[in-house]
Homo-oligomer: A and B are copies of this chain.
């Protein structure tokens, strides 16, 4: 069995040679790759310039110029962001929307032409293989970001987590004022709140707080449903353990509820051992600890 690095490199070489045709949809449009990519990325919903910079990896000066160009061509409108006048928002004109659709259609056609020689069964196999590869490569390229516990992403993730607990606990779950009240616990110097991002979208979260001289507690671990099954929970757990070490913790504890069976399984596999009740959390039925080396 060949190793994945070799396979990946071979695939990459072969794929980029072939898939250039998908990236050629701008040809014939009278517009080079850069402005075409930008037009496509603005899309029917429009996009903030700061976001476009991040997504396309472009310098603000260059992006500004490209936008001016597209404006001059009558395909894009640039306005100030109502929430922050320093920022700009790009939207497509009607003409721009027509050009966007033409690009989209052409890309569809090019992709269709690429797979046309394959039988129906092969197309299905290809689709499945690509979906698997996509999922795993996305899973491999997530970023683990320490964020403020009251930031938009943190709030959103916690709301999802609490809603799930409410659904799964027999008597429901009432977070009370945990969202805002507990926030300081997860800020420096005695805590941290981590959101895992995939393409800028929150995929998981978890918090660590120091509870005494040698002990840290992991709380609020949650993985978005669509990202379960790719080992993200385990990686987040490992990451949070490392955060505990960085906070000076020699031991890490956590509590959980018996209905969260897959989480308990994961903790045990990660070396957590049952321990005595260490807090008065009304929803906790199991308590775990682990010595950090």
On A, residues with C-beta under 8 Å from B are 1-5, 7-12, 14-19, 22-23, 107-108, 111-112, 114-119, 122-134, 136-142, 199, 230-231, 234-235
| B residues near A17, Cβ cutoff 8 Å | 199
B130 and A129 contacting across the interface, CB-CB below 8 Å: yes
Q: How many of these chains are in the complex? A: 2
Give the secondary structure class of A's interface. Answer: helix
* CB proximity of A25 to chain B, nearest CB, Å: 10
Pick from B12, B118, B133: contact of A11, CB under 8 Å: B133
B127 and A3 contacting across the interface, CB-CB below 8 Å: yes
| B residues near A199, Cβ cutoff 8 Å | 14, 17
B4 and A127 contacting across the interface, CB-CB below 8 Å: yes
B118 and A10 contacting across the interface, CB-CB below 8 Å: no
Instruction: State the 6 A-B residue pairs at the shortest beta-carbon distance, nearest first.
Output: A129-B132, A4-B127, A129-B133, A126-B136, A11-B130, A4-B123
- The verdict on A14 contacting B139 (CB below 8 Å), with A124-B4, A127-B3 known, is no
In the assembled complex, the Cα of A63 lies from the Cα of B54 at a distance in Å of 34
* CB proximity of A42 to chain B, nearest CB, Å: 15
- List 15 contacting pairs A-B, 8 Å CB cutoff, sorted by A: A1-B127, A3-B127, A7-B126, A7-B127, A7-B131, A9-B107, A9-B108, A11-B131, A18-B137, A18-B141, A114-B137, A115-B140, A118-B136, A125-B132, A126-B136
B122 and A230 contacting across the interface, CB-CB below 8 Å: yes
